[in-house]
Structure 1
Amino acid sequence: MTDSAEPPSTSAAEPKPTPNPIPNCLIHPRREPFEHGLLPIPKLIFPDPTQTLIQLRQKLVSNPRVDTATLADTLQISADHARLVLDTLASVLHSEADPLVKAQPGEIDFVGADLRDLILFLYIQSYKKLLPRTHKDSAAVADVWPSTSAFDGYLSALSPLQLVRSNSRRFMPSQADEEAHQLSYLQKHMANILSLLAEPVEGEGEESLVLTMEGFEHLGFLIQFGDKGSEGVSLSQATPFFANSDPDMPAVPVPAAQVHDWILQNIASALEHITERISAKENGPPSVSDQDVAMADACTSSIKASPSARGSSFIEGISKSSYVKQASDLKGSSVKVLNCHDSVIYILAPLRYATIYGCSDATIFLGAVGKAVRIEHCERVHVITAAKRVCIANCRECVFFLGVTQRPLMVGDNHKLQKSFYVSIRWHPTIHITQSWGSTWLKWALTQLNRWDDPLALGVVDPHDSLSHPAGVSDVQAESATRLDPDQFTSFLIPNWFGSESTGSTKDNPFPLPEAYMSSQQRNQKNLGVIKQLLREAPLEENRKRELSCALHLLFKDWLYGNFRYLRKRSLFEE
């Protein structure tokens, strides 16, 4: 990658812009493109993104919106990958009013993406994620868990199970670390990014670039002011250039160099603030979330679920418990479930984004997710969710019960995964889907097939993870998921904690159950009825009945012992 020459600096006669008109409002990177918008497609990662994308812009300048066919032809990628680019871009766009966001699935191929948003999306495909901090005794850790999977290196050679028990979360990048890393990336590349959005002044050559207010607003894809992002301060209103502009009069374009200087000032201020915050945390007493706390009972303790200052809620370190969160318990519309073990977690709320990371031996139920779900580095986890899109990366022996309107994306080093159909009892997902997806999407979802059984597998290697990989591995395709045997399929029971408000049945699910699974359920219910009838009518002598009764009680006790913790937590909730 090359860093092209920055736009010329402002002259001494030009007044230096103030950091921003809202003094207490810091600049932040938008996390969504970096967390949910990176695709491991080699043809999207350019050796020199600036020059490549300038040529792309010149080639497509007559196409203000780029459809699937044009994108596939221009980038020389398959139609499936071109559609994936548009679907992914739609899920991380900053403007809910964009036609791509509002389009129904059948319209996306033709509606296409705004050329400037597409260029920014393609540019950040060169982003490298932050590596975890090195363990103090990495040799000892490697000796404990010697392995050659994708979990090694990325998780300091620990499986998700060991990650929880060893409390190595403190060695993984914090949200502040990641934000600083993203800001540093934008700081380094902002000159190139502005050159892709700016326009030359007529008659003055390519050196004199200016940025219109409309072009500047597209930076909202990457940066934002305030804690609520798109719900907070408008990007143009946070600048000294376009604030209080007359909506009936086009704002005067601003030299790109002046915009560049102003953004760098704000990034420097934000990085200084983050550095002070990290330093205070490292030098002060350990926070509650960093301690190895024994998780005894399910509760609403701040140890387990903490809202961030940026509108996301974190559910972290749940161990050997059941745990439930409703919409009123969550801040914002994004949730991250991190490093939870041997637990059952219910998130009964409409969401925009959800991340499940580093969990093991757990069952996690997510309410309807309107944008994207990412499930990464998990072992033996069952996930039940209705979502627009799901990405599964580097997971082992997991089962996913999905109701999705886009093809599930499989990336990384996955092993022994199974996929099945979304179904739940005693919950009204239709209400949450309406809130998180919108009525247009709901109408479409109710009349179309669930795409749970049509996964799209990309590469084993994630080019964004900053790790070195053996030669030739980058061409290997990720292992997909096999279909769960219908005889193993069962409905997921949501305990009736909230009375009639959450009572429902499978008929409340927005996706019709496939014939194979419906037949299996009916067959199992019929077999259960037959067994009950046979037991009642069996002509057994009294001593044989006692033997049968004892055998059944022993089997029930074994089952009860294995499930006692879950049943006890559930009874606490129902009380």
Structure 2
Amino acid sequence: MTDPLEPPTLSNTTTSNPTQPSIYIHPRREPFEHGLIPISKLIFADGTQTLAPLKDKLVAQSGSTHRVSSEALSDTLQISLDHARLVIETIASVLHSDSDPLVTAKPSEIESVGVDVSDLVLFLYIQSYKRLLPRGHKDAAAVADVWPSTSAFDGFLSALSPLQLVRSNSRRFMPSQTDEEAHQLSYLQKHLGNILSLLSDSAEGEGEGEESLVLTMEKFEHLGFLIYFGERGSARIPLSQNAPFFANSDPDMPAAPVPAAQVHDWLLQNIASALEHISERVSAKENGPTGASDQDVPMADVCTSSIKASTSSRGPSFIEGVSKSSFVKQASDLKGSSVKVVNCHESVIYILAPLKYATVYGCSDATIVLGAIGKAVRVEHCERVHVITAAKRICIANCRECVFFLGVNQQPLIVGDNHKLQVSVANLLLSTI
């Protein structure tokens, strides 16, 4: 019997210093925050029952390249060609590997390049993911006629409008980044067996059933679409280099396939360790001094402390709670590749930095200028907000009386319950669902 596999630590992966802390597994936020599309035919609630046969059909159509075009995707999933293109463009915006041909392709080349079947299957699987929701208002009926309580996008929208949210001091009921990370890890923990079976192959001469499933190093790397290892201030190590069964493999002589059950056990141990670590951090925070966000302090101070607390190379930078003021952040002020502008009101906010992702949530009566966003922008649950941005793509969800001045490479996507939007887009038609 072999010893149980332990989660990798810095001492056995990147340094010989035994005092270094452990490297924990994390979910990639991008596919969960920017990679969900409200198309019913893309949501498979039965896990692998439907997806497995679809994957086999897509593999057969893809030939030796294992990549499929929007036409093949449209035919297999029985969706329109426009929706198939939207799927491929969305996957390109949340892929984990910047060297993938789909990421580096020009808009005119996307159709010929296509999407890798493994990435496509992972993308389709997580369409069933339900985001962590804020707590409902204690008197939801009283505000139901002010702000919609349901959404075509995710089946739920806080009954509070952005202004009601800030006035009721309900910001503390919004899920934190830690809450969301734990929620995403728990989702992966629950569905890991199905996900691995979709990536696995049957070993020759090993019979049938789960016992015969094996995972190659190439297929294992596709899990990087959903998870990664790494901590603040450190570079992300290739996923296979964190796995004891693939680590230090010679690129010219790839490691032999590994039983999927072994990979499953090892990942479950890592996820359990990460969830325990998150629980310990939350417990320490709750038992420690009261955080700035829980005190009655000026909104500008809340914003400043929030930025300092959350700016890191791993997570997004936060700009939170700016009220009745101007606020500027330049490239030197931000770390990491994403930013979130949350619960800002009656203000002008400038994010003058090249980033990969940006999210604007719960803002009102504000003007928000976003610098060049290389992947995707998401604007949600805002009212009377002017957004000026240059980005590759943008998703607008559940907004009211907002004005958008956009320079985007792909058609804007407008989803959910929106009212009285004005959108100005250079040389592109508007695409709505």
> Residues of 1 paired with 2:396 and 2:206: CA distance?
50
Q: Is the 8 A contact 1:391 1:408 kept in 2?
A: yes
> Residues of 1 paired with 2:103 and 2:406: CA distance?
22
Cα pair distance change 1:163/1:154, threshold 3 Å: farther
1:456 matched to 2:392:
no
1:301 matched to 2:304:
yes
Q: Is the 8 A contact 1:167 1:292 kept in 2?
A: no
* Structure 1 gap segments, 5+ residues each: 1-12, 422-448, 459-575
Give TM-score, length-normalised by structure 2: 0.90
Question: Residue 143 of structure 1 corresponds to which residue in structure 2?
Answer: 142
Cα deviation for residue 155 of structure 1 reads 5.7
Q: Is the 8 A contact 2:390 2:408 kept in 1?
A: yes
> Residues of 2 paired with 1:228 and 1:111: CA distance?
34
> Residues of 2 paired with 1:227 and 1:150: CA distance?
38
Question: Residue 347 of structure 1 corresponds to which residue in structure 2?
Answer: 351
For each residue in 1:51-76, what CA deviation from the matched residue of structure 2 results, as whole angstroms up to 9, or x when unmatched?
A: 22211121122310010100000000
* Corresponding residue SS for 1:15: coil
Q: Is the 8 A contact 1:210 1:253 kept in 2?
A: yes
Question: Residue 51 of structure 1 corresponds to which residue in structure 2?
Answer: 49
For each residue in 1:400-432, what CA deviation from the matched residue of structure 2 results, as whole angstroms up to 9, or x when unmatched?
A: 0000110000000000000124xxxxxxxxxxx
Q: Is the 8 A contact 1:151 1:158 kept in 2?
A: no
User: Which of these residues, 328, 336, 340, is aligned with residue 340 of structure 2?
Assistant: 336
Q: Is the 8 A contact 1:18 1:240 kept in 2?
A: no
> Residues of 2 paired with 1:262 and 1:31: CA distance?
22
> Residues of 2 paired with 1:345 and 1:157: CA distance?
26
* Residue correspondence of structure 1 range 330-409 to structure 2 within 5 A: 330-409=334-413
> Residues of 2 paired with 1:249 and 1:304: CA distance?
46
Cα pair distance change 1:230/1:286, threshold 3 Å: closer
Q: Is the 8 A contact 1:399 1:419 kept in 2?
A: yes
Q: Is the 8 A contact 2:136 2:159 kept in 1?
A: no
1:71 matched to 2:70:
no
* Corresponding residue SS for 2:327: strand
Percent sequence identity over aligned pairs: 71
User: Which of these residues, 159, 162, 170, is aligned with residue 160 of structure 1?
Assistant: 162
Letter of the aligned partner of 1:167 in structure 2? N
User: Which of these residues, 119, 124, 127, is aligned with residue 125 of structure 1?
Assistant: 127
1:201 matched to 2:199:
no
Q: Is the 8 A contact 1:194 1:260 kept in 2?
A: yes
* Corresponding residue SS for 2:299: coil
1:214 matched to 2:218:
yes
> Residues of 2 paired with 1:318 and 1:148: CA distance?
22
For each residue in 1:24-43, what CA deviation from the matched residue of structure 2 results, as whole angstroms up to 9, or x when unmatched?
A: 10000000000000000000
Question: Residue 489 of structure 1 corresponds to which residue in structure 2?
Answer: none
> Residues of 2 paired with 1:228 and 1:409: CA distance?
33
> Residues of 2 paired with 1:285 and 1:142: CA distance?
36
* Corresponding residue SS for 2:130: coil
> Residues of 1 paired with 2:125 and 2:366: CA distance?
37
* Corresponding residue SS for 1:345: strand
Cα pair distance change 1:377/1:148, threshold 3 Å: closer
1:324 matched to 2:328:
yes
Cα deviation for residue 289 of structure 1 reads 2.7
Question: Residue 4 of structure 2 corresponds to which residue in structure 1?
Answer: 16
* Residue correspondence of structure 1 range 427-506 to structure 2 within 5 A: 450-451=427-428, 454-458=429-433
Letter of the aligned partner of 1:277 in structure 2? R
Q: Is the 8 A contact 2:7 2:24 kept in 1?
A: no
Letter of the aligned partner of 1:411 in structure 2? V
For each residue in 1:290-343, what CA deviation from the matched residue of structure 2 results, as whole angstroms up to 9, or x when unmatched?
A: 33432369x983345643442310000000000000000001110000000000
1:417 matched to 2:421:
yes
Cα pair distance change 1:402/1:229, threshold 3 Å: farther
Question: Residue 106 of structure 1 corresponds to which residue in structure 2?
Answer: 108
> Residues of 2 paired with 1:150 and 1:411: CA distance?
15
Give aligned pairs, total. Answer: 413
* Residue correspondence of structure 1 range 77-116 to structure 2 within 5 A: 77-116=79-118
Letter of the aligned partner of 1:149 in structure 2? P
* Structure 2 gap segments, 5+ residues each: 12-21
* Corresponding residue SS for 2:358: strand
> Residues of 2 paired with 1:22 and 1:206: CA distance?
38
Q: Is the 8 A contact 1:352 1:369 kept in 2?
A: yes
- Superposed CA RMSD in Å reads 2.2
Give TM-score, length-normalised by structure 1: 0.69
Question: Residue 269 of structure 1 corresponds to which residue in structure 2?
Answer: 273
Q: Name the larger-Rg structure.
A: 1
Cα deviation for residue 134 of structure 1 reads 4.7
Cα pair distance change 1:118/1:265, threshold 3 Å: same
Q: Is the 8 A contact 2:394 2:408 kept in 1?
A: yes
